[in-house]
Amino acid sequence: MRQIYTSPRQENIDRVVALMAEHGIEASVANRSNYNRPTWQRFSYSQRQDNRDSWAQVWITSADDYTKARALLRELGIEPVIRHGEELADARNPSPIARREHTVARVRRIVLLLVLAAFAMVVLRYVHVV
């Protein structure tokens, strides 16, 4: 079995499983939450969920069907799960140096915008518009 898709939204998981069944690909779901639990909550994109391991996962049962399943997801515009966790973790949790560089670039843009605004005001006063 190989994982092909993961999502915090149960509707997305159900749609992917239905798509796979429609094309004759056997799929199973892991980590599916139980809707009848009193602690069940609706998914919210604004709610931070850093732990993707708790999301529902679609697994392809037969290794022979995996390439066909990946092609189906790509046709829909969904990139199947890849196993480059370290690169993804680095992109999501930048180092202090990367954060500092991002902040410096943002400050430079703001200063440049202020200089351009001041220059525009000087030009407008010179032309007697302001």
Residue ranges per structural domain of the chain? 2-91, 95-126
**Whole-structure pTM value:** 0.54
Q: CA 90, CA 86: separation in Å to the nearest integer?
A: 6
Per-residue confidence (pLDDT) for residue 38, from 0 to 100: 46
- Predicted local confidence at residue 100, as pLDDT: 93
pLDDT of residue 129: 84
More confident residue, 117 or 75: 117
Q: Helix crossing, 66-76 with 10-22: angle to 10°?
A: 120
In tens, the pLDDT along 14-72 reads 999 999 999 999 999 988 766 545 445 566 666 665 567 778 889 999 888 888 998 99
CA distances from 116 to 3, 110, 128 (A): 51, 10, 18
pLDDT for residue 89: 75
For 2-91, CATH gives 3.30.70
What is the pLDDT, as a whole number, of residue 41?
59
Residue 127 has pLDDT above 70, yes or no: yes
Beta carbons of 95 and 38 less than 8 angstroms apart: no
